[in-house]
Structure 1
Amino acid sequence: MATNDLADLVNVPATQLQRVVRLITAGFLQEPHPGSGEVAHTELSASFVTHFPNLEAAMFLGGTAAPAAF
């Protein structure tokens, strides 16, 4: 998916989204063609789409544990 399309979908500036995507791509997401503005799943990130317990854990960490750290 092109980061510009994703940025439009979530209503954030594309340049800001690209920086965040690069931050989290270390072993989780990937840029199949660096500099192309595309982002894709790795085997690990795809498991969060296909394996529901992984998604539940991520939602808990993102919605409960991470905000509690602030």
Structure 2
Amino acid sequence: MKWFDNIALTLVIIGAINWLLIGIFRFDLVAFLFGNLTWISRIIYTLVGLCGLYLISLFGRIGTFSDSRS
């Protein structure tokens, strides 16, 4: 599952950079590249959101990892 964690983290980082661009420059990179709410941009937004939800489980796994090293 480590490969899935890495993909999810990469997508969430890309989403965070997109939100940074929106917040500072009002520039939506996904909409610029794929169109404003086209089916492909909606898929990208959905995948980023789902990966963000999946990474909530990372908090529990970090705690478990820290406990096992003590």
- Please say whether Structure 1 and Structure 2 have the same fold, judged by a TM-score greater than 0.5: no
Flag the structure with higher strand content.
Answer: 1
Q: Structure 2 length normalisation: TM-score? A: 0.35
Which of 1 and 2 has higher RCO (CA within 8 Å, sep 6+)? 2
Q: Structure 1 length normalisation: TM-score? A: 0.35
